[in-house]
């Protein structure tokens, strides 16, 4: 027989709850699965960078046909006249295989997570399928791009599809770390959420304008490729004008986040976007006034990817799935 519990005076509240301990967030994905989702995100950014390297080094037709590199061979051959360009283009194509493996792992992991917890999680299941579908679509679109001799609009579509897949991977990483499904509970005002949507929309316009600048500029991917019949200087300054709009929206977002007393996570992510944007703007102006060296053009692609990831992570942090925290008044 154990010792009987001590008696407490009537009306005295007693905290009998066990001591709190640091436990994993209930319902969040296991660490190994979040690692797979992060790997998909990093790999999708990687294919953007290697695709840019193919273009700025003039290796876009290093493998002049598709799906083979050259007629009769999947891999480059010593008889090809494309010299080292064939290896650059083939390396970019090979990375597609890595993306396929990671995307299949993301789907398999999401299914295992669903079966383990017995929770449907439709958003995660749909998002987990996006890298696979996007990678397959990219393979086909890449083939079309080669077959139309790297037409600027095909090249632009190639990049924009990658950005759409990257956005889905960002959402997948975010949702995997939270216990609930969308739509969740707002942790900031309506005005701040609308401003977050505007930041994403303007960033998308900046990226589209960037592809127009690229399509009218010197880095075509091959010396035989046609260019857009546009003034590169004019479209570059139009591109910069939209960037100024983005900066204004970002300043407004920071102000609202502090006025709303929003979550520390949202404020921290907003400052990350500021850092990425400043770096990206600096690279953009530097490459413009130094004749578009290929190293800076590639760095600009990486910067665009980081800003895109940053604004999506910021917007997703304005809503907390699985939280009962009330939203501030609009």
Which residue in this structure is represented by tokens 């695709």? Answer: 51
Query: Are 32 and 160 found together in one domain?
Result: yes
pLDDT tens by residue, 193-203: 999 999 999 99
- Answer whether residue 239 is part of any domain: yes
Contact between 315 and 167 (Cβ < 8 Å): no
pLDDT tens by residue, 275-310: 999 999 999 889 888 888 888 988 999 999 999 999
Q: Is the pLDDT of residue 20 over 50?
A: no
- Answer whether residue 9 is part of any domain: no
Query: How many residues would you count in the chain?
Result: 330
pLDDT of residue 230: 83
15 sits in the region (left: phi over 0; alpha: psi -120 to 50; else beta) called beta
Q: Residue 16 has which token pair?
A: 């009998």
The Cα 138–Cα 116 span in angstroms is 32
Query: Are 93 and 162 found together in one domain?
Result: yes
Mean pLDDT for the chain overall: 82
Q: Is the pLDDT of residue 170 over 50?
A: yes
C-alpha distances in Å from residue 248, one per residue of 28, 82, 254, 316: 35, 46, 10, 20
Q: Is the pLDDT of residue 222 over 60?
A: no
Q: Report how far Cα 158 is from the mean position of its chain's Cα atoms.
A: 15
Query: Are 232 and 166 found together in one domain?
Result: no
Last residue of a domain, one of 118, 151, 179: 179
pLDDT of residue 153: 87
- Answer whether residue 4 is part of any domain: no
Query: Are 139 and 205 found together in one domain?
Result: no
- Answer whether residue 5 is part of any domain: no
Query: Are 145 and 215 found together in one domain?
Result: no
- Answer whether residue 12 is part of any domain: no
- Answer whether residue 175 is part of any domain: yes
Query: Are 145 and 250 found together in one domain?
Result: no
The Cα 240–Cα 96 span in angstroms is 32
pLDDT band for position 220 (50/70/90)?
low
The Cα 257–Cα 243 span in angstroms is 21
pLDDT tens by residue, 45-92: 999 998 888 888 877 778 888 778 888 888 888 877 778 888 888 888
Query: Are 102 and 191 found together in one domain?
Result: no
The Cα 81–Cα 84 span in angstroms is 9
pLDDT band for position 245 (50/70/90)?
very high
Q: Which of 128, 111, 227 is nearest to 168 (CA)?
A: 128
- Answer whether residue 299 is part of any domain: yes
pLDDT band for position 15 (50/70/90)?
very low
Query: Are 319 and 255 found together in one domain?
Result: yes
Last residue of a domain, one of 147, 179, 211: 179
Last residue of a domain, one of 154, 179, 204: 179
Q: Which of 101, 252, 137, 245 is nearest to 191 (CA)?
A: 252
Range with the poorest average pLDDT among 46-50, 89-93, 110-114, 313-317: 89-93
Farthest CA pair distance, the chain:
94
Query: Are 145 and 248 found together in one domain?
Result: no
DSSP secondary structure code for residue 319 in this structure: E
pLDDT of residue 144: 86
Domain that holds residue 276: 183-219+226-330
pLDDT of residue 25: 43
- Answer whether residue 31 is part of any domain: yes
Query: Are 154 and 201 found together in one domain?
Result: no
Number of domains observed in the structure of the chain: 2
pLDDT of residue 181: 63
Q: Report how far Cα 133 is from the mean position of its chain's Cα atoms.
A: 16
Query: Are 130 and 189 found together in one domain?
Result: no
Query: Are 173 and 201 found together in one domain?
Result: no
Beta strands in the chain (DSSP E): 185-186, 319-320
């Amino acid at each position: 027989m154990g010792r009987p519990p001590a008696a407490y005076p009537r009306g005295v509240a007693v905290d009998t709850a066990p001591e709190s301990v640091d436990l994993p967030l209930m319902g969040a994905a296991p660490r190994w699965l979040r690692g797979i989702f992060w790997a998909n995100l990093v790999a999708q950014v990687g294919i953007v960078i290697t695709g840019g390297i193919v273009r700025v080094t003039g290796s876009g037709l290093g493998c002049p046909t598709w799906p083979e590199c050259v007629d009769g061979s999947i891999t480059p051959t010593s008889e090809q006249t494309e010299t080292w360009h064939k290896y650059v283009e083939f390396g970019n194509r090979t990375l597609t295989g890595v993306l396929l493996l990671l995307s299949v792992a993301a789907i398999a992991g999401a299914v295992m997570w669903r079966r383990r917890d017995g929770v449907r999680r439709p958003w995660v299941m749909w998002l987990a399928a996006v890298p696979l579908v996007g990678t397959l679509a990219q393979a086909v679109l890449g083939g079309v791009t080669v077959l139309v001799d790297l037409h600027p609009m095909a090249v632009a579509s190639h990049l924009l599809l990658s950005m759409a897949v990257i956005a889905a991977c960002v959402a997948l990483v975010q949702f995997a770390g939270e216990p609930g499904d969308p739509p969740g509970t707002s942790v900031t005002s309506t005005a701040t959420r609308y401003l977050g949507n505007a930041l994403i929309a303007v960033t998308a316009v900046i990226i589209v304008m960037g592809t127009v600048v690229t399509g009218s500029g010197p880095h075509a991917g091959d010396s035989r490729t046609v260019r857009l019949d546009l003034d590169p200087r004019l479209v570059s300054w139009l591109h910069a004008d939209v960037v100024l709009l983005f900066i204004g929206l970002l300043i407004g977002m920071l102000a609202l986040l502090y006025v709303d007393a929003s979550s520390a996570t949202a404020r921290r992510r907003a400052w990350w976007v500021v850092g990425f944007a400043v770096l990206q703007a600096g690279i953009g102006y530097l490459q413009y006034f130094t004749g578009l060296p290929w190293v800076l053009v590639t760095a600009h692609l990486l910067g665009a990817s980081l800003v895109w990831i940053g604004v999506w992570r910021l917007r997703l942090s304005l809503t907390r799935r699985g939280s009962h925290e009330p939203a501030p008044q609009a």
